[in-house]
Amino acid sequence: MSSWIEIGKTGELVKGDMKEVLIKGQEIVLIRVGDNYYASDNRCPHMGGKLSRGRLDGDVVTCPRHGSQFDVTDGNVVRWLKGTGLLTTLGKMLKSPSPIRTYPVKLKDDRIMVQIPDRA
């Protein structure tokens, strides 16, 4: 089961903005790309960096910790860790690339609604 929950108003974000929201004890990042809104887990699956504190370029968010990048439209990994060399290679071996979890978003009048699974 899941529920639709209001996480913001359309006027709160301008194009290219990100906003951290806490829903049911879960950190979500709300992202506006053009006229579209996306929602995903706010924590990078590598080492938990807050994506809302990262950089948004088009529809790609970059984690502020180690530069992993994710497509906000579907959560897929664009780049797993930034850089080259022994430390990056070791980091990639210890933690396999993982996408970020995304959530359906819809607009209802000026309200931004996200569909969050109910916890058992």
For residue 85, what pLDDT is reported?
59
pLDDT at position 64 is 94
> At the fourth CATH level, which superfamily is domain 2-117?
Rieske [2Fe-2S] iron-sulphur domain (2.102.10.10)
Per-residue pLDDT for 120 more than 50? no
As given in the structure block, the two tokens for residue 109 are 């009048």
Residue 12 tokens read as 């709160």
Report the alpha-carbon distance of residue 5 to residue 27 in Å, rounded: 14
The pLDDT tens digits of the residues spanning 49-88 come to: 999 999 999 999 999 988 999 999 999 999 987 766 555 5
Sequence spans of domains, the chain? 2-117
Please report the pLDDT score of residue 78 as a whole number.
94
Question: Judging by beta carbons within 10 Å of its beta carbon (0-12, 13-18, 19+), is residue 35 exposed, middle or buried?
Answer: exposed
pLDDT band at residue 90 under the 50/70/90 scheme: low
* φ, ψ dihedrals at 35, nearest 5°: -100, 10
- Residue 93: what pLDDT? 58
Residues 6+ positions from 91 with CB-CB distance below 8 Å: 46, 66, 81
